[in-house]
Structure 1
Amino acid sequence: MATLKSVAKEAGVGITTVSRFLNNDSTLMIADKTKVRISNAVTKLNYIPNASARALKAGKTSTFGLIIPDFNNPVYSQIITGIEEVLYDRGYHLLVASTREGSSKKSYLNLVTEGRVDGLLIASTFLEDNEIEKLELLNVPYVLINRLSEKAKNYVVADDEQAAKKAVNFLIENGHKDIVHLSGKLDTDTGYRRLSGYKNALIENTLPINERLIVETAFTEESGYKKMKEIIQDNNSTFTAVFAANIRVAFGAMVAIRDSGLEIPKEVSMVGFHDIQLSSITYPPLTTVKISLDEMGRKAANMLLQLINKEEGLNKIMILESELIIRKSVRSIIDKKGNTKCVHI
């Protein structure tokens, strides 16, 4: 079996350099050609970290790692529920770790290289293609959840673009033409795909895209509140509805709207993305695009188990559909004659 030492010798670098590279050490400064030499050496020698190799061979850990960006996001609690339903029935445990939203620290590969888990479920917001390449390089079983990467071969995601279109089309059907989009982080694939859905809905309904109404936020209530306040205070922005591409952002925006003396849905209609239990008890109850998050967790856990067991005929790509949960946060502004009422903010 190849060792770290033999990989280092083959690549012509030190053992520490190989270890830091495989563990995605962000402070490691080496040339791209050196990275290629290390990668080629790992592939040629079929290197698997010793602790991980022993664990996978003996099946000793019976543990999966789940990587999420933020413990405060209620979306992940539903995903975890679905994962646990599958794993506990199969005698597996779940180790959950957070990369912290927006952090450059990528230490989760240590879970594998130190032999603490048999495979990884990854829902990290800020996912880089080179991280996926390293997982492939180390033959680590993994499944992305609610995330995409051009390099990924195994993932369970929502059809975010179609889900966003569904939300915006519903607002348009109710007469809304000037729709604010609180997008979330646009350097994430989820934020980008939901923005694409928002824009495509407008285009397909022959409505103009007003870039002033597209506002990037963090995935937090605080950011939703702050950005919504700024939009309301901008005298050059007129709108009748808001589509928030994240449930936490939607909650923050709703508070900002009320704090500004406006009423939902009388003066501003609101749709959020993801349907969690709190969505039905907000004031007013929030209309949302629902993705079955527990089902997403179940499918991802089953896929990872199948990958580890090397089952044939495995579907490695799963895309979940959405449904619109209509509550009381959207008001029709079309009168009996079919004309749009003037209620612009």
Structure 2
Amino acid sequence: MKFKAKDIAKKLSISPSAVSIVLNNKPGVSEETRKKVLKTIEQMGYNATLLTKSAFNHKYNMRFIIYKKHGYVVSDTPFFSALMEGIDREARSRGYNLILTYIDENKDDLTKIINIIKETHPDGIMLLATEMTSENLKPFKELNIPLLLLDSYFENESLDTVIINNIQGAYKATCYLAESGHTDIGYLHSSVWINNFDQRMVGFKKAIKNKGLRLRENFIFRLESTIDGSYRDMLKILNQKSELPTAMFADNDIIAFGAIKAMKEVGLRIPQDISIVGFDDMPFCELIDPPLTTIMVYKQRMGVIALKRLVERIEESPPETIRIEVNTTLIERNSVMKC
């Protein structure tokens, strides 16, 4: 007879993850619950010792899929490392084995990977959807496995989603520049599309409007979203333009870093000539000269929240889908001049 933790959980009116904690001999449940679970397992004809070693571990698997469309944004950076740390820690605390899968749209055979996923029967799938489009979701939805999207959402899809509150973060950054006395505020916008950057544009424009400033389309500069790429693109812009804003908001810290490098090369001082605010609060923000004022994203917390919701989806099958937006915080350093 195949072991099903859900049967034990249902009989005792507890969650399947509580059963997993007991079988993995981890803290997180009371001693009374632990004894009840082990007793019920024996009463139902299972061997708890064997389950701990084999059957349970084969049953409770969760896949975290990192989907790369172009790789300009999704890469091995501290942002995604911190996100992964939060997911992995929470998965282990709940007795789930986390299987990491990378998909590169330009290199991998998606059909083959989907078939592998089918064969391994994961209990749930978390998709890092940063670079994904709605069309990319189709094969994953067709698996009919509990699914959660992380770091992007699509209005036409009814799926659980955990994202950054990008509008709030960009709005906060732009308002900070305005409240620092800047009236000519530019935007270092990624030339590579992702949903996050579109939402940050919305927040930027909203702040400009609410602060009574004029939106200068000629002050919206499109830069590649790598350090080298944003450096090269910014250098071209600086060599061609005679008029520049006194302050700029950047889609992320990487773009800001590349742009600052170019500005320094042509003799501009940060923040005396141009003030800059980034987004993400990457570790290097404290190390560059000057240290970068930026928007902090609670990366580990996002991972924990996402894992909790996916477990809820697996164990309780709630009828509603939800979108959770995690707010951001402004980190003041030395890259903004008060006018």
TM-score bracket for the superposition, by shorter chain length: 0.7 to 0.9
From 261, 265, 281, the counterpart of 2:267: 261
Separation in 2 of the partners of 1:226 and 1:115?
Answer: 45
Aligned residue number for residue 30 of structure 1: none
Q: Which residue of 1 aligns with 2:65?
A: 66
Question: 1:143 maps to which residue?
Answer: 148
1:96 to 91, 100, 125: 100
Q: Deviations over 1:123-152 (max 9, x none)?
A: 233322233344333312221111111214
C-alpha distance in structure 1 between counterparts of 2:66 and 2:316, whole Å? 23
Q: Which whole-Å deviations, capped at 9, do the CAs of 1:188-217 have from their partners, x for residues lacking one? A: 211111011111111112222222221233
Q: Identify the residue that residue 127 of structure 1 maps to in structure 2.
A: 132
Which amino acid letter does the alignment assign opposite residue 85 of structure 1?
A: R
1:86 to 75, 85, 90: 90
**Corresponding position of 2:42:** none
Deviates more, 1:259-268 or 1:323-332: 259-268
CA distance in 2 between partners of 1:110 and 1:290 (Å)? 38
| 2:214 aligned counterpart, secondary structure | coil
C-alpha separation in 2, matches of 1:330 and 1:68 = 35
One-letter amino acid of the structure 2 residue matched with residue 67 of structure 1: I
* 1:115 Cα deviation after fit: 2.3
Structure 2 Cα separation of the partners of residues 273 and 138 of structure 1: 35
CA-CA distance at 1:74 after TM superposition: 2.4
C-alpha distance in structure 1 between counterparts of 2:173 and 2:291, whole Å: 16
Distance 1:232 1:111, change over 3 A: farther
For 1:164 and 1:106, how far apart are their aligned partners in 2?
37
For residues 294 and 242 of structure 1, what CA distance do their matches in structure 2 show?
28
Matched, 1:304 2:304: no
1:241 matched to 2:247: yes
- Identity across the alignment (%): 28
Partner Cα distance (2:184, 2:233) in 1: 17
CA distance in 2 between partners of 1:106 and 1:183 (Å): 32
Maintained 8 Å contact 2:61/2:124: no
The 1:184–1:289 alpha-carbon spacing in structure 2 relative to 1, beyond 3 Å, is same
Instruction: List alignment gaps of at least 5 residues for structure 1.
Output: 1-56, 334-345
1:192-207 equivalent positions in 2, closer than 5 A: 192-207=198-213
Q: Give the secondary structure class of the aligned counterpart of 2:162.
A: strand
Contact 1:182 1:224 in 2 (8 A): no
* Residue deviations 1:68-94 (CA, integer Å, cap 9, x gap): 533333210110111011012223333
- Opposite residue 59 of structure 2, the aligned amino acid is K
Scaled by the length of structure 1, the TM-score of the pair is: 0.72
TM-score by length of 2: 0.74
Is contact 1:64–1:92 with CA below 8 Å preserved after alignment? no
Q: Equivalents in 2 of 1:98, 1:252: separation in Å?
A: 27
C-alpha RMSD over aligned residues: 2.6
Write out per-residue CA displacement over residues 275-300 of structure 1, whole angstroms, 9 at most, x where no aligned residue: 12221222111111112111001011
- Which consecutive residues of structure 2, in runs of 5 or more, have no partner in the other structure? 1-55, 69-73
